[in-house]
Amino acid sequence: MQSSMTTVEGMTRSAAQAGRGFRADVQGMRAIAVGLVLLYHAGVPFVSGGYIGVDVFFVISGYLISSHLLDSLQRNGRIDFGEFYARRVRRILPASLVVAVLTAAAAVVVVPPLGLERVLKDGLATILYVPNVWFAIQNTNYLADHSPSPYQHYWSLGVEEQFYLGWPLLLMVLVLLVRRRRGLVIGAIAVFAAGSFALGIVVTPMNQPYAFFLLPTRAWELLLGALVAALLLRRALAIPNWVAAIGSWCGLAVILVCSVAYDDQTVFPGTAALAPALGAALMILFGSVSAAGGPGMALATRPMQFIGLISYSLYLVHWPLLVLSQAAVGEQHPLDTGIKILIGVVLAVPAAWLLFRFVETPLRSPSWLTKRRPRVTLVGILALTMALALSFGVTIAWSSTRDVPAGPPVSVAPSTPQVPPHATEVLPSNLRPKLAAVADDVPRLYGDGCHNDFDRAEVQECRYGAKNAHTLVALFGDSHAAQWFPALADWAETNTGVGIDVYTKSSCPSANLTVLDKGVPYVSCDRWRDAVLAALVAAAPDVVVISNYSAYQLPGVSGDKRETAWGEGVEETVKQLEAAGSQVLLISDTPRFESPPPTCISGNPTSVKECAGPRADVLDEPFLMAERHHVEQADGTVLGLSDYICDDQWCPVIVDDLLVYRDVNHLTTPFVSYLAPALKPVLDELVAGGATSTP
């Protein structure tokens, strides 16, 4: 599941809604929305769906901006585009750019060297007003990302900026085409919103990051606000006060229920985004009637008005404060909820007030600028954007070329794996692979096109080793199966006549069950797995080696039930393969860290042990034991290598001169090759006719 919050078009006493006075209830809604997001990001347990604040803000933003545009069209018959865009620039960009620059400066100080380049690239996308597009292309999972970007919350600002760019022109054309007939305008907006919503429903299961981050699949929420604006344009809602009060409370109740009922496993946006967006629309629509007994009085209280007033600045500052504070203490030392509340809520408020008071407010409408033509504002922001983009580009180039600190050289890896492993506590100068190159350290089957990505579902035809093999071994599973390829290849080289067929696909386990990918059922995986199983049953290789990531989310299953469902899925796969005449070897899963060890090492070159993970935390041994039981029930063989990777207490990140992990849960190719001798006797025995499970 993914989340963030959107920045919204301001609505203050100095910037009242066109055609009507200031609406305190809308200001209070902003306070509710930003409060939900802050509590969610701080990890408060009962606000598991607080990310729906983004949807509330999209609706508010669409309502406010469309109210202004529609009023201008009704009064003047046109939109002054220059003035409109100049006001938007002055309203949104000063605070946004100041926070973006300060975030970059802080990141240079606190982010470990190996992670800095990525952060600065995120910042460049933000400066260029396309952070949502950038994060969609990066296939980002906002909520589950192990090392979130301090710029990732800017995605929502990108959506709004892109909406502001095209909506005024589209709305003016629409109004002129229908000759200002209000009913037709309302109908057309509703059609546009319905089309965008339908697109979001279609795209969410196909490519969830695209559905989450991009304007076409998010525009319906802003258009829902525009629809409310069109309904209320220069006319009051003709309903009794008691109906308005009930309607407003119902809208608020829907928002609050979603904030506690949704969680990271909720498929989002899809249809799930409809409820909070409708809740916000109901509050705005019925809140236009001053109804005693409605939520308006509570929303109009001074604390709610204050938070609503600074909500844009508060949203901008709270996320970098949280992310950079975590980076400062090290990702390996997660901040507890109390500390995150202190930083991301308590301290964020005065920081946001300072930004609001000294940046947002004075630059919204300075006389020295508003008295000039709009083009002065627009040309000025273009020049500033280019200058900042150039500065970010130079900083990125610097970060990509600077050396990662290294310690003294240590001995090379031993010829055979050791139990327990020999942990290295300083960064050796002869580290393999080098930290700077670790991102590219993947098994060669990736470069050969033999590892399927998320979209490819066809069965690969990739054989390594002897082409006319008398002994055939198949490697089947996700990227955690693919990581073992170097060890299998090393073993095959010492055995003539051995061929290795590769069937691996990103985030697609060999266990015969549906898994979630970014909260959405992974349909492409199911199709591919079925086809591979059919091919393996038909070919019946001598040995099928499987291995899988052990922390998949399963639809509608959690806790102990997940463990059982997973075990049954693995057992079913093993039974099918064994029944076809193959012997199955499961290599148990490897440790899983909360943050990338290479990044941690780059920030702790003389105290690498700081980056090691407690065995009890990074290795889910009860789960692995349950998986072992199911595989053995199906007459499969299990090979556990945990004792070669971890000692009794810790899982080190460097063993002798070998970097163990390339990211949070994959082993490096040199370390897998180092473990190859531990696989050899088991593979030899299976090829010879049988084997038993090993620890």
Statement: residue 461 has pLDDT above 50: yes
Strands (DSSP E) contained in 471-623 are 471-477, 498-505, 516-517, 520-521, 543-547, 583-587, 613-614
The arithmetic mean of pLDDT across residues 30-49, rounded, is 96
Q: How confident is the model at residue 11 (pLDDT cuts 50, 70, 90)?
A: very low
Block residue for tokens 């347990």: 45
Cα dihedral 453/454/458/459 (nearest 10): 60
Could you read off the pLDDT of 256-272 as tens digits, one per residue?
999 999 998 888 999 99
Residue 364 has pLDDT above 90, yes or no: no
- Dihedral class, residue 490 (left if φ above 0, else alpha if ψ from -120 to 50, else beta): alpha
pLDDT score recorded for residue 4: 40
Which pLDDT score, from 0 to 100, does residue 146 have? 59
pLDDT computed for residue 690 by the predictor: 58
Distance of CA 371 to the CA centre of its chain: 43
Residue 145 pLDDT greater than 70, yes or no: no
- Look at residue 374 and tell me whether its pLDDT is greater than 50: yes
Range of weakest confidence among 36-45, 52-61, 188-197, 513-522:
513-522
- Spatial CB neighbours of 5, under 8 Å, sequence gap ≥ 6: 33, 34, 37, 51, 53, 54, 57, 153, 156, 315
Using 50, 70 and 90 to split pLDDT, how confident is the model at 410? low
pLDDT at 412: 64
pLDDT above 60: residue 417: yes
Query: Rounded CA gap, 667 and 690, in Å?
Result: 28
pLDDT at site 332: 86
Backbone angles phi, psi at 688, to 5 degrees: -75, -15
Assess whether pLDDT exceeds 60 at residue 151.
Answer: yes
Give the model's pLDDT for residue 457: 86
Give the HSE-up count for residue 615: Cα atoms under 13 Å, Cβ half-sphere.
14
Residue for token pair 């258009």: 223
User: 512-560: per-residue pLDDT in tens?
Assistant: 999 998 888 899 999 999 999 999 999 999 999 999 999 999 988 877 8
Q: Residues 665-694: pLDDT tens digits?
A: 999 999 999 999 999 999 999 988 755 556
pLDDT of residue 15: 33
Whether the per-residue pLDDT at 10 is higher than 60: the answer is no
**Residue 14: pLDDT over 80:** no
The whole-number pLDDT of residue 642 equals 96
More confident residue, 557 or 335: 335
Q: pLDDT value at position 19?
A: 39
Give per-residue pLDDT as tens, 282-328: 999 999 987 788 899 999 999 999 999 999 999 999 999 999 999 99
Q: In whole angstroms, what is the distance from residue 320 CA to residue 335 CA?
A: 14
Phi/psi of residue 547, nearest 5 degrees: -160, 145
Does pLDDT of 33 surpass 70? yes
Asked whether the predicted pLDDT for residue 463 surpasses 80, the reply is yes
Vertex 315: Cα angle to 517 and 44 (nearest 5): 60
* Cβ 507 vs Cβ 515: under 8 Å: yes
Residues of the chain above pLDDT 90, percent: 75
Which pLDDT score is estimated for 141? Answer: 56
pLDDT of residue 305: 97
Q: What is the mean pLDDT of the chain?
A: 90
Instruction: For 20-41, give one letter per residue: b (16+ CB within 10 A) or e.
Output: eeebbbbbbbbbbbbbbbbbbb
Asked if pLDDT for residue 439 goes beyond 70, the answer is yes
Mean pLDDT, range 131-159, rounded to an integer: 83
Least confident stretch, 55-69, 132-146, 514-528, 616-630: 132-146
**Joined tokens for residue 145:** 């990302």
pLDDT for 22 equals 81
pLDDT at 313: 97
Residue 433: is the preceding peptide bond cis (ω within 30°)? yes
Average the pLDDT over 216-242 and give the result. Answer: 92
Q: For residues 652 and 421, is the Cβ–Cβ distance under 8 A?
A: yes
Mean pLDDT of 206-217: 94
Tell me the per-residue pLDDT of 285-297, one tens digit each, with 9 for 90 and over.
Answer: 999 987 788 899 9
Q: Is 524 exposed, middle or buried (0-12, 13-18, 19+ CB in 10 A)?
A: buried
Give the confidence band of 367 by pLDDT, cuts at 50, 70, 90: confident
